[in-house]
A and B are shown apart, each in its own frame.
Chain A
Amino acid sequence: MRFMVIVKANRDTEAGQMPSTDMLAAMGKFNEEMAKAGVIEAGEGLHPTVKGARVKYASGAAGVTRGPFKLTSDLIAGFWLIKTASLDEAISWMKRAPFEPGAEIEIRQVFAVEDFGEALTPELREQEERTRAYAAKK
C-alpha cells in the first residue's frame, strides 16, 4: 500500500522560516532509516503559500487567487510518499519522525489502479500506465 504523509503548515513554515541544521540532520537520519527499509518513495518541502495560488472552478470559469492563504490546520508544508504493508505500519514509522512539539501530519492512502473498479476502463487503464511510464522517465 502507498501512503501520502502530509506535513501541516504552521506559522513558521508560512513565514518562510527554514528548519535549523539540527532539525535537518535529525530528519535526514530519519529519511535514511526509511530509505534503508525501502519505505520512502519521495519527499518534498513546499514554499510558503505567499508564493502560491489557488484556482477555483465554482462559476464554470477558473478564478485565480494569489497567496498567501489564511493559516489553518488544512494548509500543507510538505509531504512524503511511503510504501508500507498497512496504515498501522505507516503510523508507526511516522511516530518516530523527529518533529518538534506543535507539528502535525496527516497520513492518507494513495489510490491504486485496482481501487477504481469498472470506472477505469481497459483503455483508461492503458492510458494511465502510459502516463506513469512516461512521467517516470523524466
Chain B
Amino acid sequence: MRFMMLMIPLGYETAPPDVQLDPERVAAMMRYNEQLQDAGVLITLDGLHPPSMGARVSFATGEPLVTDGPFAEAKEVLGGYWMIEVASRAEAIAWAKKCPASANEVIEIRQVQEMTDFSPDVQEAAAGFAELQKGSRARR
C-alpha cells in the first residue's frame, strides 16, 4: 500500500518567501530520509516553498479565479511530503512517529488511491494514466 506522509508545520502558513532553514534540522531530516530509504519504503519526497510564493485557483463559480498567496484563511498548510510503500496504515504511522519533527509539526498520513480500489467503470475511464506519467517522466 502507498501512503503519503503530509508534513504540516504550524506557522508555515505565514512564512516569508525567503524562509530560512536550520542546517541542523535539515541534517536530522536527511538522516530520517536515509532510514526510510535503507528500509526500502521510500518512493519519493519533496519540500514546498511557503504559500506566500504560491497561488490558489478556485472554481467556485465554474470560472477559474486566481488568488496569490499567502492565504489569510489558511490555518494549516503543507510544508512537504514523503510517499512511502508499506504493508499497512499501522506501519505508516510507526514510520511517522520516528520522524525528528518539532513541537509545531503534524504529520498527516493518507492512503494513496490505487486503480484496484475502484469499480471497473472507473478503471476503464482512467485507463492509461500510469502510462502517461511514465511517458512524461521519460521525456524530462
Contact = CB atoms under 8 A, between A and B. Distances in A.
Contact of A108 (B30, B37, B48): B48
B59 A111 contact: no
A51 B21 contact: no
B102 interface: yes
A119 B86 CA distance: 31
A108 B54 contact: yes
Nearest to B97: A62
A51 B60 CA distance: 27
B49 A115 contact: yes
Interface in B52-94: 53-62, 64, 66, 71, 73-78, 80-81, 83, 85, 89, 92-93
A19 B117 CA distance: 13
A100 to B, nearest CB: 7
A110 B110 contact: no
Q: Is the interface of A mostly helix, strand, loop or mixed?
A: mixed
A15 interface: no
Contacts of A52: 89, 108-111
Majority-rule SS of B interface residues: mixed
Contacts of A43: 129, 133
A94 B26 contact: no
Interface residues of A, number: 80
A59 B2 CA distance: 28
A130 B136 CA distance: 23
Contacts of A51: 89, 110-111
B45 to A, nearest CB: 7
B125 A99 contact: no
B57 A135 contact: no
Nearest to A1: B49
A23 to B, nearest CB: 9
26 contacts: A4-B81, A21-B122, A28-B125, A35-B132, A35-B136, A39-B136, A42-B133, A43-B129, A46-B112, A46-B113, A49-B110, A51-B89, A53-B96, A55-B99, A55-B107, A56-B105, A57-B102, A69-B108, A72-B75, A97-B57, A105-B57, A105-B58, A108-B49, A124-B27, A128-B30, A132-B44
> Which 10 A-B residue pairings sit nearest by Cβ, starting from the closest?
A24-B125, A111-B47, A119-B23, A62-B97, A35-B132, A95-B64, A45-B113, A109-B49, A57-B101, A47-B111
Given A53-B108, A135-B42, 11 more contacts: A4-B48, A19-B122, A40-B132, A55-B93, A60-B103, A73-B73, A74-B75, A81-B46, A109-B54, A110-B47, A132-B44
